[in-house]
A = this chain, B = another copy of it.
Amino acid sequence: MNIVRVNIKNLREERRISLRALARQLKISASFLSQIETGKASPSLVTLKNIANALQTTVGNLIGESQKVTGNPVTTEKERLHLNRAFKGINVYLLTAPDPNKQMEPLLLHMDEHTDSGDSAYTHFGQEFVFVIKGAIEISLNKTTYTLKKGDSIYFNSSIPHTFRNIGKEKAEALWVDTPPTF
């Protein structure tokens, strides 16, 4: 990796702003902006931040889009990687092969009756999304507890301390997606 592609062109064109106009606003030459857009040069961090601000996005967004994932895209039910270091009575399966370029981490949770994520709450960076496929679970965010039945979902900041448990008398199944990956 000797250059990081920055996706400016699409965003710029979406906002109907010409290359020269954007360059003027950023106080860099139009020529250099063109070089950045065409992947022939990399901006400095400061310039990149300025570009992100001007286009009303984030640096992460500008460079996130260039990430390419390779390898076999499919993970079948049988091939799922089982995570051992999981919780007691809860089976966690990775739904895609680990890859540093992947921005999401999809997990499948099989929770036995009356199981939970343990005593300590999880706090990390990013966002997560949970969709209940079967049964019902409880997710606690910062002491507020939400009950999710089959078909319900939740989206929250991973920085909020979170725990979860299967309240029901039946097994529960949930799809869990983190961004960025935590494992």
Contacts and interface: CB of A to CB of B under 8 A. Distances in A.
Interface string A83-110: 0000000000001110010111010100
B153 A46 contact: no
Interface string A50-82: 100100111111011111110001111100000
Protomer copies: 2
A2 to B, nearest CB: 6
Interface residues of A, number: 68
A149 interface: yes
Interface of A: 1-4, 6-7, 10, 42-46, 48-50, 53, 56-61, 63-69, 73-77, 95-97, 100, 102-104, 106, 108, 125-127, 129, 131, 133, 141, 146, 148-157, 159, 175, 177, 179-182
